[in-house]
Chain A
Amino acid sequence: MKSNVFILLTAFKTGHKYILPIINGAVHRNIQLSRSYSQDRSHADVTSVTAIISDYDERQYEENVKSQILQKALQFVTHSGWTTESLTAGAEAAGYPGITHGLFPNGGGDLVHYFNVQCNENLVDQMKTWPKEDLKESNVPTKFIENSIMARLLMIEPYKNTWPKAMAIQALPNNVPNCLATLLSLVDDICYHSGDRSVDFNWYLRRVGLAGIYKATELFYLTDKSNNNVSTRNFVTSRVRDAQLLQSALKLNPITTAPQTLTAAFVTV
């Protein structure tokens, strides 16, 4: 039941359509559960509920300790990189012994992941305050998307020197799932806050396309030496325009071209 609730929450948060069938099942079971619960308030039920709650508190507490250490560790990244060394220093800065770094079995991977999640949340907070674009003919909020990509990229700025390493770490097999998840939630958030409420095929296309654009831009940005990253901005603008063209082309006959485009998009991710 707990996991169902969890899936439900994630589903609400991200709006992933593919979770829908699971949600249906979950909701069903939940209803049944709560029904039997309200009819028969046996002791066992009550204790199991409190157990779940305290279990949740426990996890929350552990997560807090971890975030505290990770947050501190970030300030050592420019010096020691995305490494266990930074985590050790972070643990010490948070008042724990260095050995507490063992809380992060993925070492640098856990630190990169934390940073990505932080940045995504940060971006969401920013985007909430941005004005919605007036959608006319085009149906695609280009400016909003460009701005969000740029805003997100610039969060890497303080760590630009070490970021190629971070990208390499994310590509390690055991970090790939986390990395993909944060990337998808990033593009989800961007689409959502830009006002995209599409439920048709474009839903997938936009996200996958956007993820590709983000990753490509990230690479471009790392080698961008131009003032104020003008080149990167131009790069984003033309990528978004390309995608827009692609999309309008697809509208003519989405079914036939869709699979190829999807594969292509995935390859670029």
Chain B
Amino acid sequence: MSLRRLLCKLIRDRSLTYNVLKTRALSSQSSDRSSDSDTSRQTHFGFQSVNEDEKWKKVHEVFETVADKYDLMNDAMSFGIHRIWKDIFMARLAPTHGTKLLDMAGGTGDITFRYINYLKNLGPAPDNKSSSVTVCDINQAMLDVGKVRAQRQGFTEACGVNVQWLCGDAENLQLPDESFTAYTIAFGIRNCTHIDKVLEEAYRVLTPGGRFMCLEFSHIPNETLQWVYDQYSFQVIPVLGQLLAGQWRPYQYLVESIRQFPNQEKLKGMIENAGFRQVTYENLTFGTCAIHSGFKI
């Protein structure tokens, strides 16, 4: 359903990265430095150097295309519902001024932008309460997409929320204990090999009272509906993937992995085992998606 998810997979498989790199190489032949192998991936797309204005523009274009395709595919497959799911997700988190959020697997910034908007709508923050968000993703390329989008959509310093972009693995975070008051992971936990490790790390970096929230595809508790959904996901999604993105297998993988992911109750148990309390979940759209929530209290 989420192209994002698929893209992550793709990028992790490197196939897309290669494509991106290829495109980038093509479109930036003037600057030799950009056409190296992907060992330089991480530094390559950083925006620090001043004299790389032109390169920045190219990178910008390439990723903007990718990001656009993201949204197209996401919208096509979920009928645009993924936006609503993310809106609900943020409404449930209901951040307050002074929140320090870790947006894990936040790649393209969808959650982070909603977070910033939510805080903006609360009105001006009191002087002693500054909010921040750290967008963390294992894939630097995804973070770069996010940065570009942030720039484009006007989420700059001026909006009063301190935004950090960090490349890191959810299973092994290079972040100090008790440094965030909220942790979100949207359509990301399924990508991780060891869910328990992710949860353990989440628990570690949260302050007491901190909240863990996860948005993920889930299981429909009703058999008939599940059957309908399966028909849709197994028959339609790969076709859509083929048509819109020219890929079949990754979409096949996508729908299969959704079925393999632990169901609502199981995931709830895992979250509790990590030490969280007051663990609850809420089904969205008949359970195709679920929001899990827990507190470190």
Interface residue ranges, A against B (CB under 8 Å): 58, 61-62, 65, 84, 88, 91-92, 95-103, 105
Contact = CB atoms under 8 A, between A and B. Distances in A.
Nearest to A84: B94
Max chain A C-beta neighbours (<10 A), residue from B92, B96, B278: B96
Interface band, chain B: 20 to 34
Contact of A98 (B97, B280, B295, B297): B97
B278 A99 contact: no
The 5 closest A-B pairs by CB, nearest first: A96-B209, A98-B96, A97-B181, A100-B209, A65-B297
Nearest to A69: B209
Contacts of B295: 100, 102-103
Contacts of B278: 62, 103
B293 interface: yes
A97 B101 CA distance: 11
B297 A99 contact: no
Interface of A is mostly: helix
- Among A91, A96, A98, A101, residue most surrounded by chain B Cβ atoms (within 10 Å): A98
Nearest to B181: A97
A95 B181 CA distance: 12
A102 B94 CA distance: 7
A100 B297 contact: yes
Most chain B beta-carbon neighbours within 10 Å: one of A65, A91, A96, A102: A102
Given A62-B297, A65-B297, A96-B208, A101 B96 contact: yes
Contacts of A103: 278, 295, 297
Contacts of A97: 98-100, 181-182, 207, 209-210
Contacts of B297: 62, 65, 96, 100, 103
B86 interface: no
Interface string B201-219: 0000001111100000000
Given A96-B297, A97-B207, A98-B98, 11 more contacts: A61-B277, A62-B278, A84-B94, A96-B208, A99-B93, A99-B94, A99-B211, A102-B94, A102-B295, A103-B295, A105-B280
Contacts of B208: 95-96
B96 A88 contact: yes
A61 B277 CA distance: 10
B160 interface: no
Contacts of A100: 209-211, 295, 297
A63 to B, nearest CB: 10
Contacts of B211: 99-100, 102
B293 A99 contact: no
